[in-house]
A and B are shown apart, each in its own frame.
Chain A
Amino acid sequence: MTSMTSWTVANSRKLARRERRRRLGPLGMLSHLALAVWTVLVVVPILWTFLASVKSEDEIFGDAWSLPAALRWDNFQRAWDDFHIGQYMLNSVLVVSFSTFGTMLLGSMAAYVLARYPFRGNRAFYLLFVSGLAFPVYLALTPLFFVVQNMGNVPLIGPFIGLNTHAGIVLVYIAYSMPFTVFFLSAFFRTLPTAVAEAAMVDGASHTRVFFQIMLPMARPGLVSITIFNVLGQWNQYQLPLVLLQDREMWVLPQGIADISAAAGYDQDWSAMFAALTLAILPMLIVYTVFQRQIQSGLTTGALK
């Protein structure tokens, strides 16, 4: 059905484009106006931040809409050197890469088993995972802190997964992403056709092979979609790192930005703060713009299941 729809869409788009050129009624104008207004609402605050990032301190405290007399690129230098924005970004990328990968691997494994292998206790496990959707993370914060701390005392691997470690927070992210991932993917696996997998089993493929070589590729649209959810969600995390990462060298971007904003007040360096903010925003927008097709089609496929 998906392929049918996209064929129709592609085809009718061509027709529509021709049609559109011919007439644009007053209602069409109003529609454009409404869309333009929201575009302005979205874009202007971001552009304004970019503009402020090359202003001087005095200009920032002056009229908000004045243009900078000279472009102060050194603001970025200070954002990088004094405010460590690069370090925070690197940490975020590192943490989110590993945690998303781990989430997808473990989440799809659990979801697959729970979706396709009835066994006694299956429903209990499923409910255990899904019930996590309703838990507010704030309830768990304090004990979680101690759990992670105690993890640090586990022999051998402890020092790598305790407080203040990236591996530690990666594990926490994975665990807290389980409910939605399992909920979503098990629904997805249930909808997949079974014939191919059965045929492979008859041919003697192992359960593990069927999963990795047949089911995962078939589930690709669902995986893409939930990956995007998880990347965004984990990139966004502020609360968990706030509690679990104390050393500045370990901080992730949201933590770093919030701290920079607090620090800018004391250091009287708002221009570097704007530069840091720009550095936090720009790469995300670029990455998004480059991959927006995948991101949007991912959401498109996944969200309706």
Chain B
Amino acid sequence: MTFNRYRRGLFIAAFLAAPVALYLVYVISPYIQAFYISMTDWRGVTASPAFIGFDNFVRLFNDGNFWKAVQHNGALLLLLPLITIVIALFFAFLLNVGGAKGNEGIAGSKFYRVVFFFPQVLAVAVVAVLFQQVFRPDGSGMLNAPLMSLGLQPIGFLSDSDVAFWSVLGVMVWQAVGFYVVLFSAGLASIPRDMFEAAQIDGAGRVSLFFRITLPLLWDTVQVAWVYLGILALDVFAIVWVMTDQHGGPDWSTTVMAAEIYRNAFGYFRFGYASALGVVMFFFTVGFAFLSLRLSRRERIEY
């Protein structure tokens, strides 16, 4: 017995050693140090940065660009999950139970599912470059060419500060929907067919099928999707940095927290200040995670 216990302990240690070591070195230690750096005036090189307490945090309260970034992240946090989930649920419903009989997938549902997922397999930076071209402001832009041939004014998708944010959101939705269609489809597939059949016998139409059965039974999956998309909205960087003019412009209209952190660290060499922004972002993210855990603690529907 003692030998077995010894073996067991050795096994646990051996299996945990490498992952925990890597994790401590590359993830935990940088995070801890970032908290320290956020209280210094470090500009990237000096060997001994001066400790300045909470000066950076006081400073960031007056940093208009950072608060703009926070607002944009906030708007994305609301809109990205909402729009993506609505569209994805709609399509998943059509593909799985929206068929002619009412409880079956529509014809060609497999084809659609494959195609919808395309954007998800492309790297975000690739998508960003692609849409930079799609959004060109003149007749050479994929979207503006037809507008102009109809005699309309071209839209400055990325150059009009009133429009650019929506372009960013649009691209993010474009990329995300496919994944969630597949996710929700998977959820739907695990709902027993006879539930739909029973409802149909009761005379439920497609719309009431959706609200009475699909949505409640998918609620868990929807919550998972909400959390994923929320984190995506808080973490967004590559789309903004690569696609938009002036990395978050025009006129700061698309900047996000991650872009401001990167700009301050690697553009202005203000590593201390950038770390302070990072700490604030950290608390926003933790806050979101905490909130979504709290809200999702509701009764599961058993079937």
Contact = CB atoms under 8 A, between A and B. Distances in A.
Establish whether A and B are touching in the complex (CB under 8 Å): yes
Interface string B169-189: 000001001110011011101
Contacts of A192: none
B178 A42 contact: yes
Q: How many B residues touch the partner, as a band?
A: 35 or more
Interface stretch (B74-82, B101-109, B159-167): B101-109
A139 B278 contact: yes
A280 B191 CA distance: 38
B142 A303 contact: no
B112 A304 contact: no
B275 interface: yes
Contacts of A133: 231, 289
Interface string A250-266: 00011101101100000
A175 B186 contact: no
B189 A296 contact: no
B23 A261 contact: no
**DSSP class of A's interface residues: helix, strand, loop or mixed?**
helix
B174 A41 contact: yes
**DSSP class of B's interface residues: helix, strand, loop or mixed?**
helix
A48 B142 contact: yes
B213 interface: no
Contacts of A194: none
B123 A132 contact: no
- Which of A136, A211, A285, A300 has its CB near the most chain B CB atoms (within 10 A)? A136
Given A28-B106, A143-B30, A300-B189, A138 B132 contact: no
B182 A300 contact: yes
Given A38-B177, A109-B15, A207-B11, A136 B132 contact: no
B13 to A, nearest CB: 9
Nearest to B33: A143
A51 B100 CA distance: 37
A195 interface: no
Contact of B174 (A32, A42, A142): A42
Contacts, number: 309
B118 A43 contact: yes
Interface stretch (A8-16, A67-75, A76-84): A8-16
Interface string B111-148: 01111111111111110111111101001111011100
Interface in A46-62: 46, 48-49, 52, 60-62
A236 B100 contact: no
Interface in A219-233: 232
B65 interface: no
Contact of B126 (A62, A147, A280): A280
Given A17-B107, A19-B104, A206-B11, 12 more contacts: A20-B104, A25-B100, A34-B91, A42-B116, A45-B131, A45-B134, A64-B139, A135-B27, A147-B29, A236-B238, A296-B186, A303-B187
Interface of A: 1, 5, 8-9, 12-13, 16-17, 19-20, 22-25, 27-28, 31-32, 34-35, 38-39, 41-46, 48-49, 52, 60-65, 106-107, 109-110, 112-114, 117, 119, 125, 128-129, 132-144, 147-148, 151, 171-172, 174-176, 178-179, 182, 206-208, 211, 232, 235-236, 238-239, 243, 253-255, 257-258, 260-261, 270, 273-274, 277, 280-281, 284-285, 287-289, 292, 295-296, 299-301, 303-304
Interface of B: 7-9, 11-12, 14-16, 18-20, 22-23, 25-31, 33-34, 37, 44, 87, 90-91, 94-95, 98-101, 104-108, 112-126, 128-134, 136, 139-142, 144-146, 174, 177-179, 182-183, 185-187, 189-190, 192-193, 206, 220-221, 224, 231, 234-235, 237-238, 241-242, 257-258, 261-262, 265-266, 271, 274-275, 278-279, 281-282, 285-286, 289
